[in-house]
Structure 1
Amino acid sequence: MTDDNGSNVEAGIGVAGSTGVADGQWIFTWVAQPFDWNAADFVGVNFQADFQTDGSGHFDDDRVGWMIRDDDNSSDHIFGVQMDPGGSGYNIEAYWDGDTFGDDGGRTSIVDLPTLSANAWYRLRAEITKLTATSARIDVSLTELDGSGNPGAVVASGSIPDTDLLPDTPGEEIPNPGYFTATTIWPAYKNYQAIAGAADNACYEVVTSAPPTCYALTLGHTGQGSDPLATPANSTGCAAGEYVSGEEIQLSGAVPDAGWHIDSWTGTDNDSSTADSNTVTMPASAHAAAVNYTEIPP
């Protein structure tokens, strides 16, 4: 691709002489790979890219994250992290500093960078884990690469445990909920032209949860009276009447007919109980539980 303001894909400038991304003014938005922060199975998203230092061993405005618009490649619409002058020198910092929501700026320093080699390649990785619909944990690392692009030592790492617990002061603002609730979100990368240095191997990974293994619970009774009722009606992610192994289920509403009483239970945590309520701890298999009614002698 070609853009007078970059970033352009060029042969021979990447890791170990591969094709890479030249420095440029604008953000590259990967519009073919959208994802949804609030999908039911979404756990988090990991971003990674290789960046080259300049002749002084510095980075400036080199960034990974996501964009919430695909019609504007400026920094007003990106959420992520970047390597930039800051902290006690150069650092990896949070970045949600645009004007989309009129923010004063999200530029919390996550970790200071040590002295880095000149014209060398490093791998920036950001793991952004969903905590709530509008908050995240952010873990970052920077790994040195050898001449062939193989990872070596991790030279810096740090975390923001919860974006909702930031001071919410100018420069360290809590991110606006709109960064998480946008209709569509796209992976994005920036290799800024303030200093010379290419980029390469941009990638991302959406982390999702596996669907739960659910087991059916059948409720019944012997004698004359009502079936007990289960609370909750199901485990999260399971159909009605189905539960994951280990779920504690409350049974209630066992009402004997006139002339009958509760004598015992079966398949519960306390089968000898004569109360009208009980509990079941769901095993890793289909299961049945029942209340047993006995007729009261005349």
Structure 2
Amino acid sequence: MQIAVKRLKVWSNKAEMEFAVEVEILARVRHKNLLSLRGYCAEGQERLIVYDYMPNLSVLSHLHGQHSAECLLDWDRRMSIAIGSAEGVVYLHHHATPHIIHRDIKASNVLLDSNFQAQVADFGFAKLIPDGATHVTTRVKGTLGYLAPEYAMLGKANECCDVYSFGILLLELASGRKPIEKLSAAVKRSITEWALPLVCESKYDELADPKLNGKYVNEELKRLVLVALICTHSRPEKRPTMLEVVELLKGISKEKLAGLENDELFKAPRAADYNDGTSVAEDSSDFISEEKELKEETGL
């Protein structure tokens, strides 16, 4: 059996906590779209986690990294990844006991097996949600570009935050673009700010990843983008649950899809209703410093 081993580079109390959380979460979950724990080591200051080996690495590696020039993610694979990873998060939100929020859904944390089936990974930031709780208040952790605005501002984490992050991931799958683009040294644009005006003008062909060379199913592309943008609505109560996301992505209900297409969000872009919270996160020196520490401590 081929395995992958994640090793903690530098031991600290914070890194130790994230290791313990990941082992606990992984021991609780069993789903075909969640990365499985094979074993772990906690001896002295050595911290190792053993997983199944994922030969096709991550979604990030295919969209923006070492495999991006090979164009291995055709449209069918992208739709399969979208639905499979959504079903993995559904398990966390609705079927695990207690429910689990991931808090770091992003392209690098969706791994791909030998058949390009999605496996959601990296549970170091995950939180268990006690029965009856609407959210947990915590220090902000995650990745810039994927953070829900209310979480970035208030530190209130719940399932809606994962839905927001998942919407960003869907936009990446559809467009091949990064969550945040630098337009100049001083100006950045989020993927949502780029995509929403195009949807309002029904320019779906301009949203498709050029590497697909036009080889995609128009109706599925439209569905993927609409679901992505409603997932990233600035008002959490307007976002669907992950159960609804799976249903919408599969196109099960034509009525619900039609309702989604007619949502106010897609009539005309309005700044008051649409803000990805990027500037808030960037203004938080506490968040930025914490993020830098995490990269130093948990890098492979």
Which TM-score tier does this pair reach, normalised by the shorter chain? Answer: under 0.3
Relative to the length of structure 2, the TM-score reads: 0.26
Give the structure with the larger strand fraction: 1
Going by fraction, where is helix more abundant, 1 or 2?
2
